[in-house]
Structure 1
């Protein structure tokens, strides 16, 4: 039996673009995780697709939210870790000096990819507090969305089967409609498996709809014209 596609109507005042972890450690060839995610990022043309989503959201007045990933020295005192947590901590991924100190932050692995800075630092994008594992349960993203009366989320970013999938799952549990942009993400390829391919299965089984960047852009422009 083929799975249904419930779809998601884009209503501008109710719809937000949420991007997870648009940071150097994932998306820059010099980033800490590039050795495992770089092939997938390249294959999906992830950076170009994220750029296109940012640009179109700004042009069509769709609110953009960023859910970043930061680790401070206090986070390295954890007494136990999951598999990828241990990896991220061991390679100093997303490390910052502390929440209030930006020394050595610019162009670090935790900083935004340079290409995205004009969109993120335009004074209009909402950057929420950092998530610490994978999902938004540990930051204020859901609160910020609710306080602005958003009920629909277009979701993209890094990485596919970790932070993107975890955000999707929590959004659905919280009663949001979720459209996943499947080519504006990427995942790790390790001997145990391909994170991106595993995520695609769960996206299809759980999200309201799974779209390409081109499809999202077309819908955003059509919706804006009709409004």
Structure 2
């Protein structure tokens, strides 16, 4: 049987999860909506840019933020930052080595914003109005790919959230890492497949790899248009 990885399977073998969206207990979580991932000026654009462009990721994340604010649900951003003291780490996986080599998400320190504005670690300027509105939860940084090392789960639990609409960067890395941990923590998770993107390297297409795992693990895999319809109460 030939598998199609980019489109949805014509005859899926896996049963439906039975997921029913409930805005009263839902949150939108965006991972790493930062310049280093989403801008041609970012440190990783050579690897991620083609997928970002193909998926129209930047616009789709913006659409999700607007729709979530209009629906008045919790919005949380899980960012990725590295401080000078992180350079003392004595080992790292290939992803960590890559991020270190190109200076991704670098900040001058945990208690200073010197040099932060407009740097690769900053949020994409198009999202500032949504993220810096005094309502969005900006969690402590995650350090590898998952939220195990930050306070995302605590922030969601404290708000009575049990369902997550998940998007952001990057598909097979931080998005999938957050998906897996949120599932382990008892959340239902709907991934928005065109509001993310992945690296294209000789090792493989990270976006296509992520789509396979999204279908196996997520409660739902939506397009941005489908997610917005749910947020607007137009789709059951």
C-alpha distance in 2 between matches for 1:125 and 1:10: 21
Q: Give the Cα separation in 1 of the matches to 2:234 and 2:181.
A: 26
Residue 111 in structure 1 maps to residue 122 in structure 2: yes
* CA distance in 2 between partners of 1:7 and 1:75 (Å): 42
Indicate the SS of the match to 1:166: helix
- What is the CA-CA distance between 1:101 and the residue it aligns to? 0.6
Q: Distance in 2 between matches of 1:9 and 1:55?
A: 22
2:100 aligned with 1:61: no
Q: Which residue is equivalent to 1:204?
A: 215
Structure 1: gaps of 5 or more residues: none
Counterparts of 2:21 and 2:215 in 1: how far apart (Å)? 18
Residue from 21, 33, 43 that aligns with 1:22: 33
**What is the TM-score of this pair, normalised by structure 1?**
0.97
Structure 1 position 147, deviation (Å):
1.2
Q: Which residue of 2 aligns with 1:39?
A: 50
| 2:136 counterpart of 1:125 | yes
Q: How many residues align?
A: 225
Q: C-alpha deviations, 1:105-164, integer Å up to 9, x for none?
A: 000000000000000000000000000000000000001111111000000000000000
Distance (Å, rounded) in 2 between the aligned partners of 1:92 and 1:8: 40
Residue matched to 2:187:
176
Whole-angstrom CA distance in 1 between matches of 2:42 and 2:18: 35
The alpha carbon displacement at 1:5 in A equals 2.2
Q: Which residue matches 1:151?
A: 162
Alignment of 1:85-100 (within 5 A): 85-100=96-111
Equivalent residue, structure 2, for 1:6: 17
Task: Answer whether contact 1:23 1:110 (CA < 8 A) is retained.
Answer: yes
Question: 8 Å contact 1:11–1:223 — kept in the other structure?
Answer: no
Closer, same or farther in 2 for the Cα pair 1:46/1:130, shift >3 Å? same
Q: Give every structure 1 segment of 4 or more consecutive aligned residues whose post-TM-superposition deviation is greater than 3 Å.
A: none
- Is it true that 1:76 corresponds to 2:87 in the alignment? yes
Cα distance, 1:184 vs. partner? 0.2
Q: Assess, with a 3 A threshold, how the Cα gap between structure 1 residues 7 and 215 changes in structure 2: closer, same or farther.
A: farther
Of the structure 1 ranges 2-11 and 132-141, higher mean CA displacement relative to structure 2 is found in 2-11
Let me know the Cα RMSD of the aligned residues. Answer: 1.3
Cα deviations by residue, 1:49-100 (Å, 9 ceiling, x for unpaired): 0010000011111110000000000111100000010110111100000011
